[in-house]
């Protein structure tokens, strides 16, 4: 298997409501992760996590083993391959997406944020049905908690990757174009990761996010 050339980065979609709309769309084929063949993943039937999911157990993470989810294409026609994953903060979670022998994308975030995200290959592929599909983790220390394998009828637009809230400290220190006493939301490039709330103040740490519970879909909708 060729791991020399780097595939494109997967498109990242964030926000529980937007992800739910995409996953629950009548045109999306959503395969519950627990229904796929698992190697190094376990079906989570005992934790307090709200939605059906699979994850890499602590023993696999400590050993740095690769984990694999395998399935076959449940569709015929032109689709984007994708999946949903709860990105855990403070760990390394990188997943390679394979269609047959081709590594078509790599999914990762610069930093996990304890939230659910949707990852999608940035181009559509024509499926004839039955092609081998594989999600393969790198040998990192993250659980890579997966909820769905997805076949999307169109490429989703990516969500903004970061943001900054800036509060004007006063008329003598406000940058040009800013109004005194106003809050502003600026999009930042992925590498420029900082959060400002006024001069010299840091926000209080947020509590871990729990995604809303959704009923599992027992089977995929195919052609």
Q: Digits of tens for pLDDT over the chain (223 positions)?
A: 445 468 999 999 999 999 999 999 999 999 999 999 999 999 999 999 999 999 999 999 999 999 999 999 999 999 999 999 999 999 999 999 999 999 999 999 989 999 999 999 999 999 999 999 999 999 999 999 999 999 999 999 999 865 444 444 555 554 455 444 444 444 444 433 333 333 333 334 444 445 555 554 544 444 4
Q: Is the dihedral of CA 69, 6, 23, 25 positive or negative?
A: negative
Distance in angstroms (rounded) separating the CA atoms of residues 103 and 194: 33
What length is written for the chain? Answer: 223
Name the CA dihedral angle for 133, 84, 213, 204, rounded to a multiple of 10 degrees: 160
The alpha carbon of residue 134 and the mean position of all alpha carbons in its chain are separated, in whole angstroms, by: 16
Q: Are 93 and 113 in contact (CB under 8 A)?
A: no
pLDDT for residue 207:
45
Beta strand segments in the chain, E: 11-14, 29-32, 37-39, 42-43, 54-55, 68-72, 77-87, 94-99, 102-108, 115-120, 125-127, 132-137, 145-152, 163-167, 183-187
User: How far apart are the two ends of the chain, measured CA to CA in Å?
Assistant: 31
Please, is 37 exposed, middle or buried when counting C-beta atoms within 10 Å of its C-beta (0-12, 13-18, 19+)? exposed
pLDDT for residue 110:
87
Six-digit token pair at 145? 């908690």
Distance in angstroms (rounded) separating the CA atoms of residues 170 and 184: 14
pLDDT for residue 161:
63
The alpha carbon of residue 142 and the mean position of all alpha carbons in its chain are separated, in whole angstroms, by: 13
**Which domains are delineated in the chain?**
11-152 (2.60.120.260), 161-203 (no CATH)
């Amino acid at each position: 298997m060729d791991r020399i050339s780097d595939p494109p980065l997967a498109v990242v979609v964030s926000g529980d409501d937007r992800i739910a709309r995409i996953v629950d769309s009548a045109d999306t084929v959503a395969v519950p992760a627990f229904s796929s063949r698992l190697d190094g993943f376990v079906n989570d039937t005992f934790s307090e996590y709200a939605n059906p999911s699979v994850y890499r157990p602590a023993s696999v993470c400590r050993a740095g083993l690769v984990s694999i989810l395998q399935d076959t294409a449940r569709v015929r026609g032109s689709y984007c391959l994708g999946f949903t994953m709860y990105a855990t903060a403070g760990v390394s979670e990188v997943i390679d997406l394979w269609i047959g022998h081709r590594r078509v994308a790599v999914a990762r975030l610069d930093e996990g944020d304890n939230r659910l995200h949707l990852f999608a290959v940035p181009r559509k592929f024509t499926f004839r049905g039955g092609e081998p599909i594989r999600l393969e983790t790198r040998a990192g220390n993250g659980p890579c908690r997966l909820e769905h394998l997805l076949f999307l009828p169109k490429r989703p637009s990516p969500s903004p990757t970061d943001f900054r809230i800036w509060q004007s400290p006063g008329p003598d220190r406000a940058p040009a174009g800013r109004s005194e006493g106003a809050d502003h939301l600026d999009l930042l490039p992925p590498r420029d990761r900082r959060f400002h709330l006024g001069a010299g103040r840091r926000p209080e740490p947020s509590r871990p996010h729990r995604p809303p519970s959704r009923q599992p879909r027992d089977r995929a909708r195919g052609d």
